[in-house]
Structure 1
Amino acid sequence: MKKLKVSFYLKGDKKNQSGETTIYGKIFIGNDNSTFSTSKTILQERWSKTNGLKNTLRVDNEINLKNYLKSLVDGIEEKYIELIKTYSGDDDVTPLFLKQYCFDKNPEHKITILEIVNKHNEYFKKQVKKGDRAEGSLEKYERMGDVLLDYLQTKHKIKDINFDKINRQFVYGLDEFLRFERKHGKKFGLANNTTVKYIKNISVMVNYNITMGLIGTNPFSIYDGKLKEVDTTFLTLEELKRIENKIFSNRRLDIVKDIFLFSCYTSYAPVDVMNLTQGNYTLDEDCDNWLKTKRQKTNVKTNVLVIPPLKRIIDKYKNDPECIEENRLVPNRSNSNMNAYLKEIADLCGIDKNLTWYVGRHTFATTVALANGIPMEIISQIMGHKRITQTQHYAKLMDGTVKKHMKNLGSNFE
């Protein structure tokens, strides 16, 4: 840490009506300095005679003045240490910056990275409250603030950083921290896709603040981390029927089974299932039942024709007190509870897969839709995808479907 020094002197010959001269201070950091006024005055002869108030004093007003100047020095030293901790070093703390930090009544405030996160999340909360965005997405962005704070404290020994100090080193340092040092349960280091998603989430937050005119550029736009394609877990038709035919006397597991199957036959994500009310269940002119809604994540229409196994679930809970009270098609369960109980269901049904609520959505795309010849464009619309490339991922998983179509093709050339 560079040495800080504060000294006082009388500036010029200008005197007030009492014949006194203003005392000025000078802040030295390294070879740089900056001057400030103390707004206090003293007779030039008394300043000289007391060696700038350094000698032993007997006059009360001079004793008080000396104590005041000492308190100024103490305050400046305290602020200097505070800034050093904030900026993880003293290269960015100049005498002028320190003076402004200590004395300016309205110093120019520089927005910090955590303020960027908070401003985005405050807006996102309003969207969630209005029903435009999902609570789970908000939790994802709020968790980002904790991740950043962990990085700042662990690697930089600071609690926040001015946004204009973020550079390439900071961005890729965060990537390295997440991949190798971020604690996850009992392990250290996150998977590639989790790391990339975290940094892309920060970039989304920064872009919101650019839109609001609070900042001008996005330093995270240089990040070139790529998501790796991972194998998607889905149920085969035999596994799906195994769960559907399993009878549970336990209401807890029975409800979880039905909600999971609901996703298998609609493609709805957890938040979309929980948002469904009786008003989403309609009849068309042909007296066919439909579920009509929009995906909360993308705001894309996801209308689904109600097929028999889905109708059986809806009819089962039509008069359920829990659903009637909350005007729901199926009972309300949290994502964490669903996933915990689905693991239990997988064990009881002899399914050796990591069964989560989202497996239901993947099962619809592969086993329910693709395997039964529904065109990719229709599946994409049902699933609420904005781009068909999002849906095409599932086609790679269906070797059985490929075999069936190729066999049909082969028969044409016999």
Structure 2
Amino acid sequence: MSKELKLLIREDLVMKSGKTRIEFLIYFEGKQYRVPTGQSIEPKFWIQKSELVDKKSDDATKINSYLSERKQEFEKYKRKKEALEENVSLEEMKRILKGIPLEDTKGMKNKSIYPTISKAFDDYVKLQKMKPGSKNNHRITKNVLVDFSKSKYRKELTIEQIDYKFVVQFVKYLREERPIPNQQNTVAKRLKLLKTVLRFSNRIGKYNIEDPFSNYPIELGRHKEIALTQEEYSDFKKAKLPAEACKSLKLAKNIFIFCCETGLRFSDAMDLSWEHINEKMSSFEKLQVKTNQSVFVPISNQAKAILIVYRNQYKDTQNHVFPRIDIQVMNRYLKDLAKLAGIDKNLTSHVARHTFGTNLGASGKISAYMICDLMGHSDIGMSQRYINLSKNELQKAMEAVWNKNA
């Protein structure tokens, strides 16, 4: 990284006009490099201490303004490279100090000055403090956008090419053209992340690109809580896997059951280590990945049996309880497991957490305050919904009985 930039005049090269060149001196990787500014001045008007032209010179205002601008562009370039953890380029620094735009390089006329979709996402993630789950959401959204871009335009677009039409076509792709179409809330999530990254990239690069979302409202779907009933959960546990079932399918089933028994989010199941679990395997306590709040959960016999399996069969250098599995892979296998169990619901990893809360509420023995503690909610209102969900299940059950006896 360049440590220092100085301005000086070439007193050893005085021209016939009596003037001498003003040059930049870059200290870069232990060496010095001179870069001409294209400006010249009589030596008597140069103030080396301030690195400025004396106001007594008629050209002082013009030259000082130009030199100040070049310095500012140089510092801006360095800060951006540092923020993105990228190496500075000597040639790029020279071009900036000469006042030559970086995108004007010969032989690179077709190269866009704008970042690609994937670079814009990568740069945004680098500069933000994100939890692993958020990073993963940005990674998935980036990959989906790049796949769409390449399938629709046969190349990965740069950010200035993303317009209103792109957004409309992307939404259609998510809803109708993907192998597994996305629900409205997932579509909204993808669009929100794209909108945030575009605006950030526009600001940091000062591109002044038109916002494709200025006339495109992002609509959330109606939130629908999905949980397994006691009967469905029992069917899920009893579901027999095919003899040729892979390890990942078995892992997905075990993690889902463990989360149904403990109320853990998928991110916390992946983060769970043996250090969180007491010696008797009767309970665990850990900080939640999403909220950073502590949660204490007693361990059921079913959950304990799963822990014993992985304690004996799986060894991890990070002391994790469960082998690594991607959430998208997990959710795909849950679709297969739902079919095997005869469950007509869209199972995802988060359904396990809702199942835990709903079954606690249905028991009639656990208050909303206890559910709040067990699930690590910051607001008891979030826990109260599981009591209401349980009442709805009871209502449906009674209606089924009444219809049968009618």
Report the TM-score when normalising by structure 1.
Answer: 0.53
> Which secondary structure does the structure 1 equivalent of 2:227 belong to?
coil
SS of the equivalent of 2:262 reads coil
C-alpha separation in 2, matches of 1:375 and 1:218: 52
In 1, the alpha carbon distance for the partners of 2:381 and 2:222 equals 13
Give the aligned partner of residue 121 of structure 1.
122
Correspondence 1:168-187 to 2 at 5 A: 170-171=163-164, 173-180=165-172, 184-185=177-178
The answer to whether 1:142 aligns with 2:139 is: no
**Per the alignment, in what secondary structure is the counterpart of residue 260 of structure 1?**
helix
- Structure 2 match to 1:105: 100
**In the alignment, which residue of structure 2 is the partner of 1:24?**
none
1:335 touches 1:357 (CA, 8 Å); kept in 2?
A: yes
1:237 counterpart (225, 230, 233): 230
- Inter-partner Cα distance in structure 2 for 1:216 and 1:373: 59
The structure 2 residue matched to 1:355, chosen from 334, 347, 356, is: 347
Which structure 1 segments of 5+ residues have no match? 1-103, 405-414
Residues 210, 216 of structure 1: 8 Å contact kept: yes
Map of 2:325 onto structure 1: 333
Aligned-pair identity in percent equals 25
1:55-74 deviation line (CA, Å, top 9, x unaligned): xxxxxxxxxxxxxxxxxxxx
Deviation at 1:261, TM superposition (A): 0.5
Once residues 373 and 166 of structure 2 are traced to their aligned partners in structure 1, the CA distance between those partners, rounded to angstroms, is 37
Give the counterpart letter for 2:278 in structure 1.
T
Asked if 1:296 is matched to 2:294, the reply is no
> Deviation string for 1:283-314 (max 9, x for gaps)?
6xxx8843333333444444423233322322
Equivalent residues of 1:280, 1:291 under 8 A apart? yes
In the superposition, the TM-score normalised over structure 2's length comes to 0.54
Shift of 1:235: 1.0
* Structure 1 segment 275-286 matched on structure 2, within 5 A: 275-282=271-278
Shift in Å at residue 273 of structure 1? Answer: 1.2
Structure 1 residues 315 and 355: alpha-carbon distance in aligned structure 2, compared to 1, 3 A threshold: same
Please say if 1:271 is aligned against 2:267: yes
After TM superposition, list the pairs within 5 Å mapping 1:20-99 onto structure 2. Answer: none
Instruction: For 1:182-197, list aligned pairs within 5 A.
Output: 184-185=177-178, 191-197=183-189
Residues of 1 paired with 2:140 and 2:368: CA distance? 30
What amino acid is the match of 1:139?
R
Q: 1:351 to 1:396 in 2, by over 3 A?
A: same
Instruction: Tell me, in whole angstroms, the C-alpha distance in 2 between the residues paired with 1:382 and 1:127.
Output: 31
Q: Is the 8 A contact 1:370 1:376 kept in 2?
A: no
Cα offset for 1:137? Answer: 1.9
Return the alpha-carbon distance in structure 1 between the equivalents of residues 389 and 145 of structure 2: 36
In the TM superposition, what is the alpha-carbon distance from 1:278 to its structure 2 partner? 0.8
CA–CA distance in structure 2, aligned partners of residues 314 and 217 of structure 1: 53
Deviating more after overlay: 268-277 vs 118-127: 118-127
State the one-letter code of the partner of 1:141: T
Of 158, 177, 202 in structure 1, the residue corresponding to residue 194 of structure 2 is 202
Distance 1:306 1:216, change over 3 A: farther
CA 1:108–1:236: 2 relative to 1, 3 Å: same
- Structure-2 change in CA distance of 1:264 and 1:372 (3 Å): farther
Q: Match of 2:253?
A: 257
Q: Secondary structure at the match of 1:200?
A: helix
Query: Which amino acid in structure 1 is aligned with residue 122 of structure 2?
Result: N
Q: Which amino acid aligns with 1:142?
A: K
Change (3 A) 1:291 1:125: farther
Native 8 Å contact 1:125 1:138 kept in 2:
no
Q: 1:201, CA displacement in angstroms?
A: 1.0
Q: Is the 8 A contact 2:263 2:357 kept in 1?
A: yes
Per-residue CA deviation, residues 222-256 of structure 1 (Å, 9 max, x unaligned), is 65323121433321112212333456695845544
Can you give the 5+ residue segments of structure 2 that lack an aligned partner in the other structure? 1-98, 105-111, 397-406
1:398 corresponding residue in structure 2: 390
SS in 2 for 1:314: helix
The one-letter code of the counterpart of 1:118 is K
Cα distance change on mapping 1:336 and 1:122 into 2, 3 Å: same
Partner of 1:225: 218
Give how far 1:260 is off.
1.4
Aligned equivalent of 1:101: none
Are residues 137 and 243 of structure 1, via their aligned partners in 2, closer, same or farther at CA, if it must alter by over 3 Å? same
Residue type at the aligned position of 2:298: L
- The alignment status of 1:342 with 2:338, answered yes or no, reads no
Within 1, Cα distance between the matches of 2:198 and 2:362?
Answer: 38
Assess, with a 3 A threshold, how the Cα gap between structure 1 residues 338 and 106 changes in structure 2: closer, same or farther.
closer
- CA separation of 1:309/1:372 partners in 2, compared to 1, >3 Å: closer, same or farther? farther
Letter of the 1:307 counterpart: S
Partner in structure 2 of residue 312 of structure 1: 305
* Contact 2:120–2:159 (CA under 8 A) maintained in structure 1: no
Contact residue 286 and residue 295 of structure 2 kept, 8 A: yes
Distance 1:217 1:388, change over 3 A: farther
Contact kept, 8 Å, 2:307 with 2:321, in 1: the verdict is yes
Q: Post-superposition shift, 1:257? A: 2.7
Give 1:398's aligned amino acid: S
SS in 2 for 1:318: helix
> How large is the RMSD of aligned CA atoms in angstroms?
4.8
